[in-house]
Amino acid sequence: MLSQERAPIFEALQAFEKRRVVPFDVPGHKRGRGNRELTALLGEKCVSMDVNSMKPLDNLCHPVSVIREAEELAAEAFGAAHAFLMVGGTTSAVQAMILTVAKRGDKIILPRNVHRSVMGAMVLCGAVPVYVDPACDEELGIPLGMRLEDVKRAIQSHPDAKAVLVNNPTYYGICSDIRSIVKLAHQAGMRCLADEAHGTHFYFGENLPVSAMAAGADMAAVSMHKSGGSLTQSSLLLAGPAMSEGYIRQIINLTQTTSGSYLLLSSLDISRRNLALRGKEAFAQVVSMAEYAREEINRIGGYYAFSRELVNGDSIFDFDTTKLSVHTLPVGLAGIEVYDLLRDEYDIQIEFGDLGNILAYLSIGDRLQDIERLVSALSEIRRRFGKSRAGLMRQEYIEPRVLVSPQKAFYADKESLPLKETVGRICSEFVMCYPPGIPILAPGEQITQDILSYIEYAKEKGCSMTGPEDPDITRLNVLKGGY
Amino acid sequence: MDFWFSEAHTPNVKLSIRVDRQLYSGKSEFQRIDVFDSPEFGRFLTLDGYMMLTEKDEFIYHEMITHVPMAVHPRVRDVLVIGAGDGGVIRELAQYPDIEHIDMVEIDPLVVEVCKKYLPKTSCRLNDERLTIHYEDGLRFIRSCENAYDLIIVDSTDPFGPGEGLFTLEFYGNCSKALREDGILINQHESPFYPEDAAACQRTHKNIVASFPISRVYQAHIPTYSSGHWLFGFASKKYHPLKNLDETRWNMRGISCRYYTTTLHKGAFYIPAYVEELLKDVE
CA A268 vs. chain centroid, Å, equals: 17
pLDDT at residue A394 tops 70: no
**8 Å CB contact between A376 and B139:** yes
B4-54 falls under which CATH superfamily? Spermidine synthase, tetramerisation domain (2.30.140.10)
Quote the minimal CA–CA distance from B107 to chain A in Å: 10
- The per-residue pLDDT for A468 is 85
In the stretch 38-77 of chain B, residues with CB closer than 8 A to chain A read none
SS3 label, residue A11: helix
Mean model confidence pLDDT for chain A:
92
Cα gap A219→A348, rounded to integer Å: 36
CB contact under 8 A, B168 and A346: yes
The CATH homologous superfamily for domain A406-479 is Orn/Lys/Arg decarboxylase, C-terminal domain (3.90.100.10)
pLDDT above 60 for A435: no
What are residue A249's phi and psi, to 5 degrees?
-60, -40
| Full pLDDT tens readout for chain B, 283 residues | 789 999 999 999 999 999 999 999 999 999 999 999 999 999 999 999 999 999 999 999 999 999 999 999 999 999 999 998 999 999 999 999 999 999 999 999 999 999 999 999 999 999 999 999 999 999 999 999 999 999 999 998 888 777 888 999 999 999 999 999 999 999 999 999 999 999 999 999 999 999 999 999 999 999 999 999 999 999 999 999 999 999 999 999 999 999 999 999 999 999 999 999 999 999 8
pLDDT at residue A471 above 90?
Answer: no
Distance CA B173, CA A260 (A): 48
Asked if B174 reaches chain A (Cβ–Cβ under 8 Å), the answer is: yes
pLDDT of residue A157: 96
User: With an 8 Å Cβ cutoff, are A369 and B165 in contact?
Assistant: yes
Q: How confident is the model at residue A29 (pLDDT cuts 50, 70, 90)?
A: very high
Burial class from Cβ neighbours inside 10 Å (0-12, 13-18, 19+) for residue A41 reads: exposed
CB contact under 8 A, A369 and B177: no
Please report the pLDDT score of residue B160 as a whole number: 79
Q: Exactly one of B34, B150, B155, B158 is catalytic; which is it?
A: B155
**Cα-based distances in Å from A411 to A100, A125, A279:** 22, 12, 45
Taking CB atoms and an 8 Å limit, are A372 and B173 in contact across chains?
no
How does pLDDT run across A158-204, given as a tens digit for each residue? 999 999 999 999 989 999 999 999 999 999 999 999 999 999 999 99
**Angstrom distance (rounded) from CA B53 to CA B225:** 9
The answer to whether A191 touches A232, Cβ cutoff 8 Å, is no
The answer to whether the Cβ–Cβ distance between A369 and B170 falls below 8 Å is: no
The pLDDT of residue B140 is 94
- pLDDT band with cut points at 50, 70 and 90 for residue A458: confident
B58-280, CATH topology level: Rossmann fold (3.40.50)
- Give me the amino acid identity at A75: A
pLDDT at A137 over 90: no
Mean pLDDT across the stretch A129-147? 86
A459: pLDDT strictly greater than 90: no
ipTM for this model? 0.85
Residue A282: name the closest of A214, A197, A174, A366 by CA. A366
Task: Flag if A372 and B165 touch (Cβ within 8 Å).
Answer: yes
Q: In this predicted structure, what is the pLDDT of residue A391?
A: 52
Q: Where in chain A is the domain with CATH 3.90.100.10?
A: 406-479
Within A31-166, residue ranges assigned H as helices are 36-42, 44-48, 66-78, 89-101, 116-125, 148-157
- Partner A contacted by B177 (CB < 8 A): yes
| CA proximity to A117, closest of A84, A95, A88, A143 | A95
**Selected residue of A341, A368, A379, A380 to mutate for chain B interface (largest B Cβ count, 10 A):** A380
Long-range CB contacts for residues A288-291, cutoff 8 Å, separation at least 24: A289/A362, A289/A366, A289/A368, A289/A371, A290/A321, A290/A322, A290/A323, A290/A324, A290/A362, A291/A321
* Tens-digit pLDDT profile for residues A222-255: 999 999 999 999 999 999 999 999 999 999 999 9
- What's the confidence (pLDDT) of residue B278? 95
* B261 CB within 8 Å of a chain A CB: no
* Residue of A349, A372, A381 to mutate for B, most B C-beta atoms under 10 A: A372
Please say if the pLDDT value at position A344 is more than 90.
yes
How far is residue A326's CA from residue A172's CA, in Å, rounded to a whole number?
Answer: 10
Q: What is the three-class DSSP state of A46?
A: helix
Q: Which CATH architecture has domain A279-385?
A: Alpha-Beta Complex (3.90)
Fold equal for B4-54 and B58-280: no
Q: Tell me, what's the pLDDT at A409? A: 93
Nearest CB to B143: which of A347, A369, A376? A376
What is the rounded end-to-end Cα distance, in angstroms, of chain B? 51
Q: Kindly report, as residue ranges, where domains of CATH 3.40.640.10 are found in chain A.
A: 61-261
Tell me the DSSP string of A203-241.
GT-SSSPPPTTTTT-SEEEE-TTTTT---TT-EEEEE-T
Task: Tell me the per-residue pLDDT of A348-385, one tens digit each, with 9 for 90 and over.
Answer: 999 988 878 999 999 988 999 999 999 999 999 999 99
Strand B149-155, strand B179-188: pairing: parallel
Of 3.40.50.1000, 3.40.50.300, 3.40.640.10, 3.90.25.10, which CATH number belongs to A61-261?
A: 3.40.640.10
The verdict on a CB contact (< 8 Å) between B143 and A373 is no
Q: With contacts defined as CB-CB under 8 Å, which chain A residues touch B165? A: 369-370, 372-373, 376
Spell out the domain ranges in chain B: 4-54, 58-280
Q: What is the pLDDT of residues A288-313, one digit of tens each?
A: 999 999 999 999 999 999 999 999 99
Reduced 3-state DSSP string for A107-138: EEEEECCCCHHHHHHHHHHCCEEEEECCCEEC
Give the strand pairing for B229-236 and B214-221. Answer: antiparallel
The β-bridge relationship of strands B13-18 and A475-479 is unpaired
Q: Is the pTM of this model over 0.90?
A: no
For the cut 70, the answer to whether the pLDDT of residue A335 exceeds it is yes
Supply the pLDDT for residue A390.
52
The answer to whether A60 and A87 are in contact (CB under 8 A) is yes
Task: In chain A, list all ranges with CATH 3.90.1150.10.
Answer: 279-385
Active-site residue, B182 included: no
